[in-house]
Amino acid sequence: MRDDGIVQVNFNDKLEIDINEARDILNAQKELSKGKKVLVLNVAGKQTTATSAARDFAASDEATKYTLAEAYVVNNLAQKLVGNFYVNFHKPKAPTKIFTNETDAVNWLKSLSF
């Protein structure tokens, strides 16, 4: 949990997130937010990917029940393409946007009013 109340998730390099890890992230977010909805900043490592099952779960009502909005920071074209596919195809239940730098992602999250 950041000082500004945003939950930040940093992913390691060369990591493939599966559904079990996606569930672990949800449980950690629930604990950090004390069960309240929060803004979430996900920062991908180099070559971080997620399985289709993990993306399906991440977009679900269950996975977004503690999320006001979610920003993903990616660092290469492949991640950006997968991220945009996730937003447009999986249609997350919380507002979600893909960014190439953390400052823009944080500014977007903070600009939202709930």
pLDDT above 90: residue 113 = no
- Model confidence at 46, in pLDDT bands (50, 70, 90)? very high
Rounded to whole angstroms, how far apart are CA atoms 78 and 27? 28
88: left (phi over 0), alpha (psi -120 to 50) or beta: alpha
Mean pLDDT of the chain: 94
Kindly report the CATH class assigned to 7-111. alpha beta
Rounded to whole angstroms, how far apart are CA atoms 52 and 40? 20
Rounded to whole angstroms, how far apart are CA atoms 23 and 109? 23
Q: Where are the domains of the chain?
A: 7-111
pLDDT above 80: residue 4 = yes
Encode pLDDT of 70-92 as tens digits. Answer: 999 999 999 999 999 999 999 99
Residues in the chain: 114
